[in-house]
Each structure stands twice: as C-alpha cells, then as structure tokens.
Chains A and B, each alone.
Chain A
Amino acid sequence: MSTTATRVIVTGQKSSRRALLRRERPEHLSSPGQRARLRKETLAGYGFLVPWLIGFFGLTLIPMAYSLYLSFTSYNIFQPPKWIGLDNYIRMFTSDPAFMQSAQITLIYVLVGTPITLIAALLVAMLLNYRDKGAGFFRSSFYAPSLIGGSVSVAIVWRAMFANDGPVDNSLSFFGIDLGGWIGNPDLVLPAMILLSIWQFGATMVIFLAGLKQVPKELYEAAEMDGANAFHRFRAVTIPLLSPVIFFNLLLGLIGAFQVFASAYIISNGSGGPAGMTNFITLYLYKRGFSDGQMGYASAIAWVLLIVVAIIAFILFRTQRSWVHYSGDSR
C-alpha cells in the first residue's frame, strides 16, 4: 500500500530511497538497439516537465540563491545591493532584541502548539474510531476549522472570541477566573494564538483516524488476552503501529507552524503587538523587508528560518530510527 515516495519523505531510509531512484526500465526499453527510443523518452519527459522546470528554476532555485546573496548585502530595492558580509547575521544575534524576541515566541508557538495539536488530534481520532455509525458527521465537523483556520475571517472572529467580555472571557468568569481580554494582554495573546492553531486539529485527526483504521483488530485482542489494560494496549499496539503517521504529522505540523502569518497580522493589526508577542518570524521578516525596506536583512532572517526548519527536519529524520516502526521492516 505505502508507496516508495512516501517512505522517502517519512523514513528517509536509504534502501527505500534507492528503490525510488532506481530506474525500472519497461521491457520495450531494455532490449538492445533501443537507444533512440530512450532518447525519445527523455525528450518526452522534459517536454511534460517544461512548466515545472521553469517554475523550479525561475521561481524557486534561482530566487533562493539570490536571496542567499542578498542576505550578505544591504539592499533597499531602490539602490543596488551593497556587500556587507556577515553583518546582517551578526546584527540579528547581537544587537536586535526584536529579532531575538520574535525567534523566541515563534519557537514557543511551534514547540508548544504542534505537540498539543497532535495529542488532541490523536485522542479525538481514537474517540471517533470507537464506533463507525455517526462518526462521519463529527469527522467532518472537526475537519472544517483546518480548512479555514488560517484565513483573515477566522482571525477576526478569534479577536472577538477572546475580547474583553467576549465568549471566552465570559465563560471563564462564570468559573470565577477573571482574565479580561486576551488579545490586548501580552501574557495571554500567545496562548490565544496557540489555541487558534489547536483549533485546527481536524486535518491531523483525519490522517490519524485513517491510520487507526488500519491497525489490525487481532493485535488488540491478543494484547487483551494477555491481560494488557487499555493504557498498555495504547502504548504497546497503537503508538508503535501509528508511529509512521505520527512522524509524518509531526514533521508537517512543525514546518507548517513556522509559517503562521495571516492570523498574527490580523490579530495585531500588522504590528506584531501587544509588546511584540505576536511578532512571529514571518511577520517580522515581512515588516523588515516591506515596511522598513531592509530587503538584505529580511533575506538573512528568511535564511535563518530556512536553516532552523532544515535542522528540525534533520533531527526528526535522524531520531526516527529509534521510535518510528514500519510494519514492512524486518527490524
């Protein structure tokens, strides 16, 4: 069932990567004297790929290289870029407290929000998996927010939800907790943002649910026969069998969380406030590049973001050997 390409993304295993890259030549190409045919195939392949190739080189690879170059310059789009070496990077880490704060709150947002979202998604998926009849309605209801959660409309609603005397404030007051409005409060605006990301647990949940449906029932029955209680069954059966899906969701969740922009922009009216507590790295990058005209500095910020995302992906791929189990593997 699981195709090779997924496994490369999800596993990074050398063996499957090789399998993916291995060229399986169809019969009509492997017989001798078919070189002309092979050349024709190559031509056809690149013909189909023309749009993608233009996009890949013109809008991704070359711009990336250019942005790396810009990150070593001072550039405001009106005058030509001026080479300043590592100054942008040095400035970022030594004399720009706004950047340090931005990096800090982004990391908190990502590292707190993503695991909680995953846990919530897994718990609700297990709840839905208990029974098939009626689950479809709940599945769809929970999925809806992840489709619209990043939109401007929802950010506007979120402001109202967490406003002073808004629904959240009123419900908490009912239990005697008086917090007031969350959006204007530097201590509470980040939790409100994290709750917005947790609210979008539906897509992750749907993926978990599909994974749970594939866990063989016999395994649970066997474990129950051996006297394992619900918690043991969860730890010894559910988690290992689901670990490839957990890995996939964790990877995509972390990378996605780094890119939160519209909701932070709308909730803070583009300022990143109060007290810089919604000034996520993408918003900071945008303001530096497009409001302050510091395109070189903003490019350096973008590259730091890219490197951090790459490091996190690398760590995940590296550690998966110890906790991700693939049913097809003999280990």
Chain B
Amino acid sequence: MTTASFSEPTFAMVENQLDDAPQNAPRRRVKRKTWQTVIWFVVLIALTAIVLYPLVWLLLSTFKPNSEFGQNMGLLPNNPTLENYVKVSEGIAGVPMQQFFLNSLIIAVGSVIGTVLSSALAAYAFARVQFKGLGILFAAMIGTLLLPFHVLIIPQYILFNNLGLVDTFIPLLLPKFLATEAFFVFLLVQFIRQMPRDMDEAARIDGAGHLRIFWSIILPLIRPALITCAIFAFIWAWNDFLGPLLYLTSPENYPLPIALRLYNDQASTSDYGATVTASFIALLPVLLFFLVFQRFLVDGVATQGLKG
C-alpha cells in the first residue's frame, strides 16, 4: 500500500482503496489512476441520477397536491401534502384500496407456491431421473422457453371460458401449478445438475426412493435457487397486466395493475395525484422486495445468463 501524499483526504481514501500498484510506482501513474477513478464515479453517479430519476419523481410526486400537476412537473412538491394517500385509500369504482392489494397478494403468493412446487418437481425429473422420452421432453421444455406467450392467449381464454372460470383467479393460478413458465424449470434444472451426485447415490444404496431423495436431499440443496424463483415468480405475478386484463371482469376481483388502469382511464386529467400515488403503492412491494433480496435477484440473473 502506498501512503498517498495528496492533501485532499477524499482523494487519499479513493486512492487507498484502489491502489494495488507496487510501492515504487511512478507518481504520475498513480495520479492518473486517481483521476480516472474520480471520473468513473462522476460518470456513474450522473448515470444513476438519470436512471433513477423517474422513480424518485414518482415517490416525491405522491406528495404533490392535485392542482400542482401540469404546472409543476419537477421533482419537489411546492406544497407537500398527504391528501393523495387519503384519497387513494378510499379506493375507486366502489372498491376499497385494500381489496385490490389483497387480490394482488393472493395472485402473487399463489403463483409463488405453484411455481416453486411444480417447477422443482419437473426440474428434478429432467435433471436426475433416467426415463424413456427424457430427451424429447426436455427439448420440448426448452422450446417453450422461446415461445411467445401471446400465441396462447386466445385458445387458453376459450378453454377457461368454456370451463366457466372467467372472472376467477383460477386461469391466473392454474398455469403456475402446472410449471408452464419454462424459465423456472430451466433455472432449477441447471442448478440441480451442478449438485454432486454422491449424496443421491449414497441415499439410493440405503434404499431411498426418488421421492425421498428429492425431498430430503435435493430440495435443501437447491434452496438458494428456489428463493430466486420465488422472488421472480412473486414480482412477475404482482406486475402482470395481460392475464388479469383478460380474465378478471368485476372490479372487486381486480389486482392493483388493473385498478391502476381505472385511475389512468377515468382520472388522468382530473385526479392525477391519486393516479400517481396509486402507481407508487402498486410498485412499493416490488421495490421493497428488491431492496431486501437484491443479491438473490442480481446474482440469479447473472447465473441465468452464464450458466443458465
């Protein structure tokens, strides 16, 4: 470690963190590196400010009184107020806000349970069981990974309509319990394949069947991957718009994204404050999830891209 000889303490700090250069490195080179680091921080902070601006704007705009929109589209409210939150809590179309929130929660939690259960079962079969037809079924699963979902919306709608299930949560939840989201199956297959087989083999010699191996050995081993799946399943179901738009017709069944559409359609000019505040409330659980689980999410994506 070189002892930095700069007068500015901040520079010295930055320098200390960065420096892995040999002790007798020429001073000029050290200085250049310091400047590069400073520029690096400045550029990235500027970029962060641009990228996060819309979200900060959303948060601060929830405190703007309704009359301020249109005149003051900047960040800070001139006369901060909580009136938007009061208004939003009353709900829209005769349905209170907590009902929308509860509907979203039921759909999202149901999706998490269904996705994790069914995907783990399928992934175990693909990764650990040797059966006739494995190759072709696995290829079929990979194929659905690239299939645009929109090809299926019309026939699936006709199916659920004929079964009399429109305006229930079943069309939204049933596919999750049947592992139709190939992304999750694939992610778990990849993860299980990396697990050493020694424990399986040992358990098998002791007479354990597949169910036992799956439950007592594989599931505990792949817990991190299951958590990643659960988080993604929650966020995707929470944000889903097309599914509820197709299948839910009465307002008391609406989850938040569809309720937001009501604000957006009916009140975009007259009640902008409520629209913005409801949008923020709809986003809040996802943002909190992100803050708590960001490691899992970001690493999950990185793994998915390279190993997955």
A residues adjacent to B (C-beta < 8 A): 1-3, 5-6, 8-9, 20-21, 23-26, 28-29, 38, 41-56, 58-64, 66-67, 70, 77, 124, 127-128, 130-131, 133-134, 138-145, 147-148, 150-154, 156-158, 160-161, 163, 165-167, 170, 199, 203, 206-207, 209-211, 214, 245, 248-249, 251, 255, 258-259, 261-262, 265-266, 269-270, 282, 285-286, 289-290, 295, 298-299, 302-303, 305-306, 309, 313
B residues adjacent to A (C-beta < 8 A): 17-18, 36-37, 40-41, 43-44, 47-48, 51-55, 57-58, 61, 70, 73-74, 117-118, 121-122, 124-126, 129-135, 137-142, 144-159, 161, 174-175, 177-180, 185-186, 189-190, 193-194, 197, 201, 204, 209-211, 214, 235, 239, 241-242, 245-246, 256-257, 260-261, 264-265, 268, 275-276, 279-280, 282-283, 286-287, 290, 294, 297-298, 301-308
Q: Are A167 and B53 in contact (CB under 8 A)?
A: yes
With A5-B186, A259-B150, A266-B260 known, 7 other A-B pairs at CB within 8 A are: A5-B138, A142-B48, A142-B51, A145-B51, A207-B301, A258-B148, A306-B147
Shortest Cβ gap from A205 to chain B (Å): 10
Q: Are B210 and A157 in contact (CB under 8 A)?
A: no
Cα–Cα, bound, A53→B118 (Å):
11
Q: Are A29 and B235 in contact (CB under 8 A)?
A: no
Closest to B242 in A: A261
Cα–Cα, bound, A29→B178 (Å):
30
Q: Are A51 and B150 in contact (CB under 8 A)?
A: no
Inter-chain contact count A-B, CB under 8 Å?
Answer: 308
Shortest Cβ gap from A206 to chain B (Å): 5
The one of B147, B153, B161 in contact with A289, judged by C-beta atoms closer than 8 angstroms, is B153
Using A23-B135, A142-B48, A147-B286 as known contacts, say yes or no to A55 and B142 having CB atoms under 8 A apart.
Answer: no
Give the interface centre of A5, A211, A262 by most chain B CB atoms within 10 Å: A5
The one of B41, B73, B144, B302 in contact with A134, judged by C-beta atoms closer than 8 angstroms, is B41
Q: Are B179 and A152 in contact (CB under 8 A)?
A: no
Q: Are A3 and B17 in contact (CB under 8 A)?
A: no
Closest to B258 in A: A152
The one of A130, A142, A167, A261 in contact with B57, judged by C-beta atoms closer than 8 angstroms, is A167
Q: Are A167 and B151 in contact (CB under 8 A)?
A: no
Contacts of B139 in A (CB 8 A): 21
Q: Are A290 and B130 in contact (CB under 8 A)?
A: no
Task: In the A-B complex, list the 6 residue pairs whose CB atoms are closest, starting with the nearest.
Answer: A55-B178, A45-B131, A207-B305, A63-B155, A48-B125, A21-B135
A-B contact pairs, 21 of them (CB 8 A): A21-B139, A41-B131, A44-B209, A44-B210, A51-B122, A66-B155, A143-B297, A143-B301, A151-B241, A151-B257, A156-B264, A156-B276, A167-B57, A170-B74, A262-B239, A262-B241, A262-B242, A265-B245, A266-B261, A289-B153, A302-B153
